């Protein structure tokens, strides 16, 4: 399989498959494909179906198999970017809910539970995230642009709510209270920050979809009022 990502801030993943190769995506992610590729819808076990539902994905997945060489495309569901992450048995990856776009190879998608109550309630990522394990490539959607870091053991990144897109499973998440009453009341950063501890690789995103919705909501309200 060869792939390329085009489209700038409205990206699309273009995959050229050889005969016998296949891609997996959540229902509705395929944008266009050649006639040489066939679709098979599958759900898996009950646990996997509900696990996908709780992490914001479609309950069913589509498997696209190339009978002969052909191209298939997966467009992002919102403005942002697409990142390809190589997954190996010793290097699973944790990502935010609804991040999954497509995968190639033997990738298993499961639910990742936040172990710390405080991180689940106040860390901004919730209790449920997605875990990708196995061998292959997983393609994830990023809100805005992606910025990547390698965090060494004993070090950490302080991340505002919603800016964590993905991380190696070797990383861990905690929360840290913003210090100082003035900082909390007037700093605009809220009461808690997410602390991502190394060692491992992290992917941060520049425009979380929640902040995007907040930024455009006043204009939507104005448009609604003026149209009435």
Model confidence pLDDT, tens digit, residues 172-184 = 998 887 654 444 4
Cβ neighbours for 140, distance < 8 A, ≥ 6 positions apart:
82, 83, 85, 95, 99, 100, 101, 165, 166, 203
- Chain segment 26-35, per-residue pLDDT in tens: 878 899 999 9
Is 221 domain-assigned? no
Residue range 150-175: mean pLDDT, rounded: 93
The pLDDT value given to residue 135: 98
Q: 214 to each of 146, 207, 209, 217, 219, how far by Cα in Å? A: 20, 11, 9, 5, 10
Is 146 domain-assigned? yes
Residue range 8-31: mean pLDDT, rounded: 93
Is 224 domain-assigned? no
Cβ neighbours for 85, distance < 8 A, ≥ 6 positions apart:
93, 132, 137, 138, 139, 140, 166, 203
Considering the entire predicted model, what is its pTM? 0.81
**Which range of residues forms the domain containing residue 190?**
2-214
- Chain segment 208-222, per-residue pLDDT in tens: 887 777 677 777 756
Residue 56: give its domain's CATH number.
Answer: 3.60.160.10
The pLDDT value given to residue 174: 87
Is 154 domain-assigned? yes
Q: Is the pLDDT of residue 156 over 70?
A: yes
- Cβ–Cβ under 8 Å, residues 55 and 97: yes
Is 93 domain-assigned? yes
- Cβ–Cβ under 8 Å, residues 36 and 16: no
Is 141 domain-assigned? yes
Give the best-scoring range by mean pLDDT among 39-43, 66-70, 219-223. 66-70
Is 13 domain-assigned? yes
Q: 191 to each of 182, 207, 222, how far by Cα in Å? A: 11, 20, 30
- Cβ–Cβ under 8 Å, residues 162 and 177: no
Q: How many CB atoms lie within 10 A of CB 161?
A: 18
The pLDDT value given to residue 121: 46
State the DSSP code for 43. -
Is 20 domain-assigned? yes
Domain count, the chain: 1
| Listed range (19-23, 117-121, 147-151, 157-161) with the worst mean pLDDT | 117-121
- Chain segment 93-110, per-residue pLDDT in tens: 999 988 999 999 999 988
The pLDDT value given to residue 205: 96
The pLDDT value given to residue 43: 56
Burial of 172 by CB count in 10 Å (0-12 exposed, 13-18 middle, 19+ buried)? middle
């Amino acid at each position: 399989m060869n792939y390329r990502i085009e489209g700038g801030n409205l990206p699309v993943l273009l995959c050229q498959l050889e005969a016998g190769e296949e891609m997996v995506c959540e229902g509705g992610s395929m944008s266009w494909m050649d006639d040489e590729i066939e679709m098979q819808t599958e759900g898996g076990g009950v646990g996997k179906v509900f696990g996908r539902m709780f992490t914001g994905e479609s309950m069913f997945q589509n498997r696209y198999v190339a009978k002969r060489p052909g191209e298939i495309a997966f467009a992002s569901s919102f403005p942002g970017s697409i990142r390809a992450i190589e997954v190996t048995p010793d290097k699973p990856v944790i990502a935010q809910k609804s991040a999954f776009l497509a995968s190639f190879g033997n990738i298993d998608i499961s639910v990742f539970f936040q172990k710390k109550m405080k991180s689940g309630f106040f860390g901004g990522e919730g209790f449920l995230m997605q875990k990708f394990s196995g061998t292959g490539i997983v393609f994830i959607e990023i809100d805005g642009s992606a910025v990547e870091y390698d965090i060494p053991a004993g070090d950490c990144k302080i991340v505002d709510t919603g800016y964590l897109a993905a991380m190696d499973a070797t990383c861990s998440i905690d929360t840290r209270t913003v210090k100082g009453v003035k900082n909390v009341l007037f700093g605009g950063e809220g009461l808690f920050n997410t602390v991502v501890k190394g060692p491992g690789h992290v992917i941060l995103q520049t425009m979380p979809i929640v902040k995007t919705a907040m930024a455009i909501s006043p204009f939507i309200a104005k448009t609604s009022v003026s149209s009435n």
